[in-house]
Structure 1
């Protein structure tokens, strides 16, 4: 899933969170301010405790000043349990009204002891490839 695209990661509360965003020109339509980005996420539990990802919060910004918050249970319909050493990977997407923006957020985990903690998702840039924007205008 991970290729030679920009890569962002953060270690937070024993979870190593890696993100690789990319522009989806085939799903975008710049003349109508529709810029679609996918992002591949890898969550690796490098702690000594098992934890279940219960919910997430994303804040999405674009270069024209729009801000959106997305809150929900789990990730892409799942609430994975990550034992020490486990990895969970998924892909999702977002739509911006401009060719540039960024995202950041938090995952909320519950341990087997029923305690909760927050792991920070690193801020990552969303940048449409200039050649795709110019080709579609």
Structure 2
């Protein structure tokens, strides 16, 4: 598990390899990840949007941006957490993800960014 705190918001990430898929004789490697967002600040915050850079060992990079996470924009009181799970497909059995959440501080109405720490995506069979 990797963790990082930015401006009082702690991001924890756990991931795992889910298996291979074949489409038109081209393999894809499926990974899942679970993220916990913990508000360690003294302010009420809302996760507004996200940006991901997904990179595989073949140097293929996909950028994903959108509102909220899995269809919601959670509001976190001080001390609260929000956990969600999602996934991605890579063209190679090894890669990484990194990104950021755009958050809003309800007390000041200001936006700020929280770093999602880089985490590696590795299929066990590919790691010798």
Q: TM-score range by the shorter chain?
A: over 0.9
Say how many residue pairs are matched: 123
Paired residue for 1:12? 6
Higher helix share: 1
Match of 2:29 among 27, 35, 50: 35
TM superposition shift of 1:41: 0.3
TM superposition shift of 1:29: 2.4
Separation in structure 1 between the aligned mates of residue 32 and residue 12 of structure 2, nearest angstrom: 14
TM superposition shift of 1:33: 2.3
TM-score normalised over the length of structure 1: 0.86
Structure 1 residue runs without a partner (length 5+): 1-6, 132-137
Match runs of 1:1-137 below 5 Å = 7-25=1-19, 28-29=20-21, 32-112=26-106, 113-130=108-125
Separation in structure 1 between the aligned mates of residue 49 and residue 79 of structure 2, nearest angstrom: 20
Structure 2 residue runs without a partner (length 5+): none
TM superposition shift of 1:114: 1.2
Separation in structure 1 between the aligned mates of residue 61 and residue 27 of structure 2, nearest angstrom: 15
Separation in structure 2 between the aligned mates of residue 34 and residue 48 of structure 1, nearest angstrom: 43
